[in-house]
């Protein structure tokens, strides 16, 4: 049997985006074994995975520098005897691993990130959407002769949802809304004071329950303050939980409101419609959630956006008006539209 190593060590959202493709590739190629290496803290999102997929959570602090990465590549090859590598990351770390494995005769396929196409969008020279990240992942497996469909609908499709003690039973007629107001970069984050106006209005709707999502102590503290204001709002960071719990909760929700962030991609793994708010980044760069609709995005048509592919640049005007000028009413109406669809 063939064995294929898959690598993606980056941020949670990028890793989550691999799942619709990796799971379908595994199911379409049952006589191939797959070993996916990712960061230790992200391995938990691969729930209900195909039987021919092994997920390794790697503690990268144990493999520092070039010599450490060479050691990691050799250790993995010795243990799993893979004959091919699908590099879904293409950064210095995986380039070192690729070089090591090529020397051992391993066939390597690498993602084309489309840097030049995305630069044209950021520079304003083009508004033509580029190939999605999902399609770029699929193309890597295509280089290895491993095809797959795009029929992924949910991480729970064909299997039972994991039991979760944190997920309450849902009464008939209730509508559950997940709201994730934070992002790693300021240009991708809707101002919290404006998001609170959105939450305040939605909380008044009949039979509505809101679940706030986020991570880190500052986010937990902010969400805790909001939760105390409403009887039908729960802050998930205040409840000890795993990725499996979070996915089980999202599977019962009716819509998620979030930024261009990992939460959009987590929601996409359970087929949950997402109202996504975009500021410094743009869906045209290929990072919209799996099977999410462009019509469900909230964004302003400004000459200065997108100002970066990943949202990691400061606003050239200093006020992040691409986010601040989005009114709470715009977001509220979009959420209402998705709920009534």
Backbone angles phi, psi at 174, to 5 degrees: -75, 145
Q: How many residues does the chain have?
A: 341
- Beta carbons within 10 angstroms of residue 332's beta carbon: 19
What pLDDT was estimated at residue 143?
Answer: 97
Round to whole Å and give the CA distance between 189 and 21. Answer: 28
Angle between helices 65-80 and 92-103 (to 10 degrees): 50
27-36: average pLDDT:
97
In order, the DSSP letters of 125-178 are: S--PPPPPHHHHHHHHHHHTT----S----TTTTSPPPP-TTS----TT-EEEE
**Architecture of the CATH domain 2-143:** 3-Layer(aba) Sandwich (3.40)
What pLDDT was estimated at residue 108?
Answer: 98
What pLDDT was estimated at residue 162?
Answer: 65
What pLDDT was estimated at residue 216?
Answer: 86
pLDDT tens-digit map of 52-72? 999 999 999 999 999 999 999
Please list the residues that pair with 209 across neighbouring strands.
176
2-143 and 175-340 agree in CATH topology: yes
pLDDT at 160 over 90: no
Round to whole Å and give the CA distance between 318 and 63. Answer: 39
The CA distances from residue 67 to 63, 96, 129, 132, in Å, are 8, 9, 39, 34
Task: Name every residue whose Cβ is closer than 8 Å to that of residue 336 and which is 6 or more positions away in sequence.
Answer: none
What pLDDT was estimated at residue 148?
Answer: 86
The CA distances from residue 322 to 120, 143, 327, in Å, are 19, 39, 11
pLDDT tens-digit map of 165-215? 889 899 999 999 999 999 999 999 999 999 999 999 999 999 999 999 998
SS3 57: strand
Q: At 161, is the pLDDT very low, low, confident or very high (cuts 50, 70, 90)?
A: low
Angle between helices 133-143 and 19-28 (to 10 degrees): 30
Round to whole Å and give the CA distance between 249 and 209. Answer: 12
- The answer to whether residues 218 and 194 touch, using CB atoms and an 8 Å cutoff, is no
The beta-carbon contacts of 72-78 under 8 Å, at least 24 apart in sequence, are 72/97, 73/97, 73/100, 73/101, 74/100, 74/104, 76/5, 76/35, 76/37, 77/5, 77/101, 77/104, 77/106
Q: Which of the following CATH numbers is that of domain 175-340: 3.40.50.300, 1.20.1090.10, 3.40.50.2000, 3.70.10.10?
A: 3.40.50.2000
**Angle CA 16–80–65, to nearest 5:** 70
Q: Give the domain ranges of the chain.
A: 2-143, 175-340
pLDDT at 248 over 70: yes
pLDDT at 11 over 80: yes
End-to-end CA distance of the chain: 46
pTM of the model: 0.95
Task: Name every residue whose Cβ is closer than 8 Å to that of residue 40 and which is 6 or more positions away in sequence.
Answer: 57, 58, 59, 60
The CA distances from residue 134 to 25, 64, 215, 327, in Å, are 12, 29, 25, 31
Backbone angles phi, psi at 161, to 5 degrees: -65, 140
- Beta carbons within 10 angstroms of residue 68's beta carbon: 15
Task: Tally the C-alpha atoms within 13 A of residue 216's C-alpha that lie toward its C-beta.
Answer: 9
Round to whole Å and give the CA distance between 292 and 283. Answer: 11
What pLDDT was estimated at residue 136?
Answer: 97
pLDDT tens-digit map of 271-323? 999 999 999 999 999 999 999 999 999 999 999 999 999 999 999 999 999 99
Round to whole Å and give the CA distance between 115 and 91. Answer: 13
The CA distances from residue 61 to 27, 69, 289, in Å, are 33, 10, 30
């Amino acid at each position: 049997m063939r064995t294929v190593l898959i690598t993606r060590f980056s941020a949670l959202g990028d890793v989550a985006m691999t799942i619709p493709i990796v799971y379908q590739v595994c199911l379409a190629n049952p006589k191939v074994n797959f070993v996916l290496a990712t960061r230790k803290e992200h391995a938990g999102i691969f729930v209900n995975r195909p039987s021919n997929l092994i997920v390794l959570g790697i503690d990268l602090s144990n493999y520092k520098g070039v010599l450490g990465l060479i050691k990691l590549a050799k250790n993995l090859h010795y243990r799993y005897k893979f004959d091919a590598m699908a590099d879904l990351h293409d950064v210095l770390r995986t380039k070192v691993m690729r070089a090591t494995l090529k020397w051992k005769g391993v066939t390597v396929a690498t993602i084309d990130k489309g840097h030049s196409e995305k630069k044209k969008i950021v520079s304003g020279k083009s508004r033509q959407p580029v190939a999605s990240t999902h399609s770029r992942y699929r193309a890597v497996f295509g280089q290895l002769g491993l095809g797959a469909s795009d029929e992924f609908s949910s991480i729970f499709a064909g299997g039972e949802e994991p039991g979760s003690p944190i997920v309450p039973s849902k009464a008939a007629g209730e509508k559950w809304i997940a709201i994730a107001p934070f992002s790693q970069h300021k240009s991708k984050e809707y101002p919290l004071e404006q998001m609170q106006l959105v939450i305040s209005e939605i909380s008044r709707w009949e039979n509505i329950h809101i679940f706030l999502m986020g991570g880190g102590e500052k986010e937990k503290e902010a969400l805790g303050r909001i939760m105390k204001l409403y009887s039908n709002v729960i802050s998930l960071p205040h409840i000890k939980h795993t990725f499996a719990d979070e996915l089980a909760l999202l599977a019962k929700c009716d819509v998620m409101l979030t930024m261009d962030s990992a939460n959009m991609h987590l929601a996409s793994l359970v087929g949950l419609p997402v109202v996504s708010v975009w500021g410094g980044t743009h869906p045209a760069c290929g990072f919209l959630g799996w099977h999410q609709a462009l019509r469900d995005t909230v964004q302003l048509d400004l000459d200065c956006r997108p100002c970066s592919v990943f949202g990691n640049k400061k606003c050239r005007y200093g006020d992040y008006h691409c986010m601040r000028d989005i009114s709470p009413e715009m977001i509220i109406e979009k959420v209402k539209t998705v709920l009534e669809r």
